[in-house]
Amino acid sequence: MSGILDGKRILITGVLMESSIAFHAAKVAQEQGAEIILTAFPRPTLTERIARKLPKPAKVIELDVTNAEHLDRLAGLVRDELGTLDGVVHSIGFAPQDALGGNFLNTPFESVATAMHVSAFSLKSLAMACKPLMSEGGSIVGLTFDAQFAWPQYDWMGPTKAALEATSRYLARDLGKDGIRCNLVSAGPLGSMAAKSIPGFGELAEVWNTRAPLAWDMSDPEPAGRGIVALLSDFFPRTTGEIIHVDSGVHMIGA
C-alpha cells in the first residue's frame, strides 16, 4: 500500500532528540514514502546519532538559520542530495533564559531580538532559502504553541510565536502564486528539549491535565508529527495560512 508522501522530498529541521516532534515527523514521513534530509545546529553530530533511529538513513546538513552563509549554500547542498524539494518542516525555536520563566517585564530587547530572529524570522529565511528547489510548488509546515493566550512561564516566546503565526500568513499570501502552501501545527506541551528549557514548564503543562477534552500524553509527540505529515501531503491542496491544532482540544475550551 502506498504512502501519502510517496515520491516527496522533504527537508526537516529541529531533530534534536527522539522525543522531539521533528523526529516523529521525519519517522512518519519516511514511513509514508518520503525521502528526507535533515538540518541541525549547533551539533550536527547529535542529529546524526538520533537519525540512526529513523526507519531509513537520512543525510544531515549543518544549518544556522541566522547565518546568511549557511542559508545561501543550503539550496546547493540539498540539490546535490535530493535534486528538488516538495516540502519543508520548520521546527526551530530558541529564547535566552532571561526571556522565559516569569521575567517578561525585565527581559532586555537584545534577548527578545534573539528569540524573534531564531524562532520567527527564520521561517521566512528558511522558506526563501528553499524556494529555488520548489519550482513545482510544495508545502511548508511550521510549529507553534497557540499564541492567542498569555501562558504561564512562556513569556517572550508568546509574542515570538505570535510573530511566527503572522509570518506564516504573509508567506502563504506571497508564495501562493508559486504553488507553495504555508501552514502551522499548534501542538500541546510535550516533554521535548525545547519544553525542558522553559523554567516552570510543569505549571504550563498542568493546563492540559485539567482542560483537554481528549486525553493528552506529554510523552507522545507522534500525533503532532502525523499532523505535520498530513499538511505536507497532497490531502490539503487548497489549505494555506492555516493553523491546525493538535492539542486534544484545549484551544477551544473557554474555562
Whether residue 57 has a cis bond before it, omega within 30° of 0: no
Q: What is the CATH number of the domain that holds 28?
A: 3.40.50.720
- Domain count for the chain: 1
Locate 56 and state its grid cell: 531509513
The helix-helix angle for 122-130 and 68-82 (nearest 10°) equals 40
Q: Tell me whether residue 110 is in a domain.
A: yes
Digit-coded pLDDT (tens) for 66-83? 999 999 999 999 999 999
Element (H, E) at 68: helix 68-82
CB 14 within 8 A of CB 36: no
d(CA 36, CA 12): 7
Q: Is 92 annotated as ligand-binding?
A: yes
For residue 245, what are the β-bridge partners? 186
Q: Is 244 annotated as ligand-binding?
A: no
For residue 191, the model assigns a pLDDT of 75
Q: Tell me whether residue 251 is in a domain.
A: no
CB 94 within 8 A of CB 114: yes
Ramachandran class of 241: left when φ > 0, alpha when ψ lies in -120 to 50, beta otherwise: left
Digit-coded pLDDT (tens) for 206-222? 888 889 999 999 889 99
Q: Is 20 annotated as ligand-binding?
A: yes
Q: Is 21 annotated as ligand-binding?
A: yes
Q: Tell me whether residue 4 is in a domain.
A: no
For residue 4, the model assigns a pLDDT of 98
Whether residue 199 has a cis bond before it, omega within 30° of 0: no
CB 194 within 8 A of CB 204: no
Q: Tell me whether residue 1 is in a domain.
A: no
Domain extent, residue 22, equals 9-246
Q: Tell me whether residue 109 is in a domain.
A: yes
d(CA 135, CA 137): 6
DSSP character at residue 146 = -
> In the block, which residue shows the cell 546547493?
76
Question: Around Cβ 178, how many Cβ atoms within 10 Å?
Answer: 12
Q: Tell me whether residue 3 is in a domain.
A: no
pTM score, two decimals? 0.95
CB 117 within 8 A of CB 208: no
Instruction: Give the confidence band of 247 by pLDDT, cuts at 50, 70, 90.
Output: very high
Q: Is 233 annotated as ligand-binding?
A: no
- CA distances in angstroms from 88 to 83, 143, 254, listed in the order given: 14, 12, 33
Q: Is 111 annotated as ligand-binding?
A: no
Q: Tell me whether residue 185 is in a domain.
A: yes
Q: Tell me whether residue 255 is in a domain.
A: no
Digit-coded pLDDT (tens) for 133-186? 999 999 999 999 999 999 888 999 999 999 999 999 999 999 999 999 999 999
